[in-house]
Amino acid sequence: MGILNVTPDSFSDGGHHADPDAAVAAARAMAEAGAAIIDIGAESTRPGAEAIDGEAERRRLLPVIADVRSALPDMPVSADTYRSETARAALEAGAGIVNDVWGLQRDPAMANLAAETGAGLVIMHTGRDRDVLPDPIEDQRVYLSRSIEIALKAGVAQAQIVLDPGFGFAKDAEHNAVLMARFGELHALGFPLLAGTSRKRFLGYFTGRPVEARDVATAASSALLRAAGAAVLRVHDVAMNVDAAAVADVMIAAGRQGAGAGTELA
């Protein structure tokens, strides 16, 4: 999943794609590099970012979705928004997926919209504006179980849902490290998992690198999380992470073959 922010203030690529032509060019480059989805967002969710209203969000977002869908008609597009009104307009403009960073727990109409339209739905965990449990995985389980309950009660089909543990969202470096190490435990929730570590602050904490120099660390984390079962990797540098995932996939396949050979010999 390639990240395309049409914002002036996102932590990594703010202002780079505000012009629609630049946004389409970036989407084309991601597609050529191997992206399977383009995730387009119009409001920064970085810590301390200035909030905008839904009208401003839609003014930025909708023309870019339409232009990307026109330029790349076979490319699935995801709308990164927590507002159901924006999500509805984005789906009408050509998006097929909604990526909700509040996991359906901020706008109660989001789950109903997903059920009504059949759109793909990324449900993200966040620690913002609430008390979190000491154990990171237990907090994931409690929060995401509530989000899943909201979705299913609204009539969202299980096949529509992907879960995102929300790396970096009100999580310190240690919390993110534990979440990476125990990522496989999240499969118990029963849904495909998305991992979005790209260029995030905790990678800078681990490596000492500034945001513009964190793509190697991102690729390393992507390989590790792919090996732990991530179905989707949400990234800025698509080519580097496609390669990282390919190496992880070869390792996984070799491990399965080795296990099978061992069974036959036994």
C-alpha separations of 23 from 10, 52, 149, 242 in Å: 14, 20, 36, 21
Cα 98–Cα 201–Cα 213 angle in degrees, nearest 5? 100
Q: Residue for token digits 């099978």?
A: 260
**DSSP H stretches of helix in the chain:** 20-33, 54-71, 84-93, 109-117, 136-154, 173-181, 201-207, 215-227, 238-265
39: three-class secondary structure by DSSP: strand
Q: Spot the catalytic one: 171, 200, 201, 226.
A: 200
Strand order in the sheet with 2-5: 2-5, 38-41, 77-80, 97-100, 120-124, 161-164
Contact (Cβ atoms closer than 8 angstroms) between residue 78 and residue 37: yes
Q: Spot the catalytic one: 60, 83, 201, 234.
A: 234
Cα 44–Cα 131–Cα 99 angle in degrees, nearest 5? 35
Clarify whether 153 is annotated catalytic: no
Instruction: Give the tokens for residue 109.
Output: 């109409």
Instruction: Give the tokens for residue 206.
Output: 């681990």
Clarify whether 234 is annotated catalytic: yes
Report how far residue 144's alpha carbon sits from residue 157's, in angstroms, rounded to the nearest whole number. Answer: 16
Contact (Cβ atoms closer than 8 angstroms) between residue 118 and residue 160: yes
Rounded to the nearest 5 percent, the helix, strand and coil shares of the chain are: 55, 10, 35
Q: Write out the catalytic residue numbers.
A: 200, 234
